[in-house]
Amino acid sequence: MRLAEMESIALNIGLAMFAAFVFFIIYDLAKKSKAGKFGTAMLFVVLGMGLFAFVIKTVVVELMGGGNI
């Protein structure tokens, strides 16, 4: 396995762990603030959009042929 392949795999695993951690933080924020069901849903939607936009940007760049993943 080449170094570039290992780096790509490590990056994907790291980003997945980062995304899971972000969602855990949002859940913990909702729990500590006693947001309720609607408030928790809004926190996940609004704060999760930042992470979603990052993923969409990566997909769009890949589809346009500018990425080298």
Q: How far apart are CA 47 and CA 65, in angstroms?
A: 29
Four-residue CA torsion sign, 61, 63, 67, 69: positive
Residue linked to tokens 């408030």: 39
- pLDDT for the residue 34: 93
Summarised one tens digit per residue, pLDDT across range 16-51 is 898 899 899 999 999 999 999 999 999 999 988 988
- pLDDT for res 25: 93
